[in-house]
Structure 1
Amino acid sequence: MNKDLILKKIGDWNQDFSYPLFIAGPCSVETPEQLDQTVGQLVEQGISTIRAGVWKPRTRPNSFEGVGAIALPWIQEVKAKYGVKFAIEVASPAHVDEALRAEMDVLWIGARSTVNPFTVQDIADSLKGVDIPVLIKNPINPDLALWIGAIERIAQAGVSSIGAIHRGFSNFNDTKYRNSPTWQIPIELKSLFPDLPLLCDPSHICGNRDLIQHIAQKALDLSFDGLIIESHYQPDKAWSDAAQQLTPGSLGNLLQHLKTRKVALDDPELQSQLEVIREQIDHVDREILELLSQRMSLVEKVGQYKKLNNVAILQMERWNKVFQTRPEWAKSLNLKESFAKDLFKLIHTESIKKQTEVMEGE
């Protein structure tokens, strides 16, 4: 992993982009009228960078896959008319070539492309010698290494104006969101590459316009550098992803109610108070680890007992008891039951490993 990639922050990109960076526009370009109406209304809401799908990689054939390159002249006309920048998705070197000839301002690589290193490399090769911001969406599956690999491939092509887009991850168990946020993955990405601009795509995470406000605010609370949100002047008539698109007016209202957070405290007294609390957290974390160490010592004794008495490691009665009682204990302590379940799955899995080591030892 190359942590020393040369990456520019949004303010250092060669073109003038606002910070936080808010990008909005239709899921896909449909007609010249739809594009003009939507962009005109978005400009009234203060949006100066527009997103729009020209080519739409879809999961299944016979779905609407975008109108294609015929939309590029429409975009050029709208750009000239309203003085906006445009971001479009590219999924092949041919797309890159056409987008550059049409003087697009930002390119993004979609989730279905990020998941394929061959596709990303082809796009990277076509970008050599090109100085344009490139945004890279996370892969569909929750694989941080694939996401990082795509970023590295584009950076190695000589592109330094790179940003990442968190659009959520496929999860068959998530009934609330179209794509699970799984916040720990973009947070880990940001910790590895602190200079990498990170945007959130709440439209694709939510799949439902009613949920977008919450996810957008959550992203800003986590110090994301911007948002990319789908907006259509008649969203219910959209040719793709109708349920997750906002009218420009609704988008403007959403942005007005978002709160941006300070990245760091500039008040020494407040900073001092925060450090005191953090020191207390560090102390508690140390105690937690000491208790876990004690628990594993007891687990090792259990393993030795089972080995001496020829008892199987996995005892389902005990397993079931742990996962019944621990969430109940958590609830009584004002902790989430789901948190306790996840925590003790990790602890119990490690306990099984520890007992296995004892069983396999001499």
Structure 2
Amino acid sequence: MNKLLDKKQLDIADRSWLAKNGRPLIISGPCSAETEEQLISTAVSLANIGSIDVLRAGIWKPRTRPNAFEGVGETGLKWLKQAGKETGLPVCTEVANARHTEQALKYGVDMLWIGARTTVNPFSVQEVADVLKGVDVPVMVKNPLNPDLELWIGALERINQAGITRLAAIHRGFSSFEKTLYRNVPRWEFPIELKRRFPDLPVICDPSHIAGSRELIGMISQKALDLEMDGLMIESHISPDSAWSDAKQQVTPTALKRLLSELVMRNKTAENPSFSNRLEELRCQIDEIDEEILQGLDKRMKMVHEIGKYKRDNRVTILQVERWDAIVKQRKRVASALDLSEEFTDHLLRILHKESIKIQTKVMNLSPVGV
């Protein structure tokens, strides 16, 4: 078995490329390199902010439909390196295949990231990983388009197995058919679980792609920092309204400076001993309540099992739509009276209903005793 898979850990041996003194890494630049003037003007303005650590720009742009702007290609790598030279900032770009990777390394791009559309395809990720063998550059991997944690981890493992130890994940949200406030739904539970499973792995948030609109970037950035993410990748353009791609989610360097200044950097803990004592008390209470909830759920599912047997023995269908509709309405009224959000209640009820159907289906497929 592969060493990494057997250890269930990634080999993150080097975090020196991250920002120092507990400050989040800030990566910024235009969604796309459009012209040399546009890229360098944006880069110089960002450098003047003083808090930008890495300059980014898309050289190749994977578009859903043909005939859309798909990036300037190799020429843009020259502009990107020149922008880095003029500002003193390291530069990074997205690579989607072996050719992109080879060209980016040829021009001395300092950091690379693998986009969401590439992460979904293990063959493409492996193609990039093969080129990276023997190369010492930081590589960041965005989450796949769909909420699949194992697919995300698999891409990280492939790059890690190529010998890349300066490795990070980028949380950019997930595609959804439903219309929501966001371009890509955050689903914060996924990066949280990734951090839990791989505590040494830096996780960077991409508020621009989660938001889809510049008005939401500040709020999402603050949420990411409150969840102890290690950095932010925010798209910035010297004239965002005229950008050739993703115009609505880019901000000017001036707006970015203001946004960053308004972010609150919170401590992981407080120095006040009474804070720690009180926090521990509250956590103990939550532990006790969680245990009560789990015991209650156990009782509920055992009751569901009995109902399944009763339905089976009397040849009654599992799903009773009218009953379920009445349950949802009644539970939501109770939840509202308790100040629980409708969204949370709806999500919880769906999970309970799904598990109940699963249990009753299993019971239905068992023959009654003595038959």
TM-score by length of 2: 0.93
Does residue 190 (structure 1) correspond to residue 190 (structure 2)? The answer is no
The alignment covers a number of residue pairs equal to 361
- Which segments of 5 or more consecutive residues in structure 2 lack a partner in the other structure? none
Does residue 144 (structure 1) correspond to residue 149 (structure 2)? The answer is yes
Q: Deviations over 1:223-275 (max 9, x none)?
A: 11000000001001111111100000000000000012223444433222111
Is the CA contact (8 Å cut-off) linking 1:327 and 1:338 kept in structure 2? no
Does residue 353 (structure 1) correspond to residue 358 (structure 2)? The answer is yes
Q: Which moved more, 1:300-309 or 1:278-287?
A: 300-309
**Cα distance between partner residues in 1 of 2:267 and 2:83:** 35
Corresponding position of 2:210:
205
Does residue 292 (structure 1) correspond to residue 292 (structure 2)? The answer is no
Q: CA RMSD in A?
A: 1.8
Does residue 260 (structure 1) correspond to residue 265 (structure 2)? The answer is yes
**Cα distance between partner residues in 1 of 2:225 and 2:19:** 23
Residue pairs, 1:177-326, within 5 angstroms: 177-326=182-331
Corresponding position of 1:22:
26
Does residue 68 (structure 1) correspond to residue 73 (structure 2)? The answer is yes
Post-superposition offset of 1:176: 1.4
**Cα distance between partner residues in 2 of 1:16 and 1:76:** 24
Corresponding position of 1:171:
176
Task: Say if 1:84 and 1:140 are closer, same or farther in 2 by CA, change over 3 A.
Answer: same
- Which segments of 5 or more consecutive residues in structure 1 lack a partner in the other structure? none
Post-superposition offset of 1:4: 2.4
- 1:342 equivalent among 303, 328, 347: 347
Task: Say if 1:14 and 1:189 are closer, same or farther in 2 by CA, change over 3 A.
Answer: closer
Is the CA contact (8 Å cut-off) linking 2:132 and 2:162 kept in structure 1? yes
- 1:34 equivalent among 28, 32, 38: 38
Is the CA contact (8 Å cut-off) linking 1:90 and 1:108 kept in structure 2? yes
Describe the SS at the equivalent of 1:303.
Answer: helix
Residue pairs, 1:73-152, within 5 angstroms: 73-152=78-157
Is the CA contact (8 Å cut-off) linking 2:12 and 2:166 kept in structure 1? yes
**Cα distance between partner residues in 2 of 1:183 and 1:154:** 23
Describe the SS at the equivalent of 1:89.
Answer: strand
Post-superposition offset of 1:18: 8.1
Is the CA contact (8 Å cut-off) linking 1:38 and 1:233 kept in structure 2? yes
Which runs of at least 4 in structure 1 moved beyond 4 Å after TM superposition? 14-18
Post-superposition offset of 1:327: 1.4
Task: Say if 1:68 and 1:328 are closer, same or farther in 2 by CA, change over 3 A.
Answer: same
Task: Say if 1:23 and 1:253 are closer, same or farther in 2 by CA, change over 3 A.
Answer: same
**Cα distance between partner residues in 2 of 1:356 and 1:183:** 31
Residue 261 of structure 1 aligns to which amino acid in structure 2? Answer: R
**Cα distance between partner residues in 2 of 1:289 and 1:80:** 58
Is the CA contact (8 Å cut-off) linking 1:58 and 1:65 kept in structure 2? yes
**Cα distance between partner residues in 2 of 1:309 and 1:75:** 72
Task: Say if 1:62 and 1:30 are closer, same or farther in 2 by CA, change over 3 A.
Answer: same
Residue 189 of structure 1 aligns to which amino acid in structure 2? Answer: L
Q: Deviations over 1:323-348 (max 9, x none)?
A: 11111211110001121111111112
Q: Deviations over 1:298-333 (max 9, x none)?
A: 223323332343322221111111111111211110
Residue 148 of structure 1 aligns to which amino acid in structure 2? Answer: I
Post-superposition offset of 1:361: 4.3
Residue 100 of structure 2 aligns to which amino acid in structure 1? Answer: H
**Cα distance between partner residues in 2 of 1:322 and 1:313:** 15
Post-superposition offset of 1:69: 0.8
Task: Say if 1:228 and 1:126 are closer, same or farther in 2 by CA, change over 3 A.
Answer: same
Q: Deviations over 1:47-96 (max 9, x none)?
A: 23111011111111111011111112222222222111101111122211
Describe the SS at the equivalent of 1:199.
Answer: strand
Residue 303 of structure 1 aligns to which amino acid in structure 2? Answer: G
Q: Deviations over 1:265-293 (max 9, x none)?
A: 44433222111100000000011111112
**Cα distance between partner residues in 1 of 2:308 and 2:228:** 45
Identity %: 53
Q: Which moved more, 1:159-168 or 1:171-180?
A: 171-180
Is the CA contact (8 Å cut-off) linking 2:19 and 2:25 kept in structure 1? no
Describe the SS at the equivalent of 1:84.
Answer: coil
Post-superposition offset of 1:3: 2.4
**Cα distance between partner residues in 1 of 2:287 and 2:22:** 37
Task: Say if 1:14 and 1:225 are closer, same or farther in 2 by CA, change over 3 A.
Answer: closer
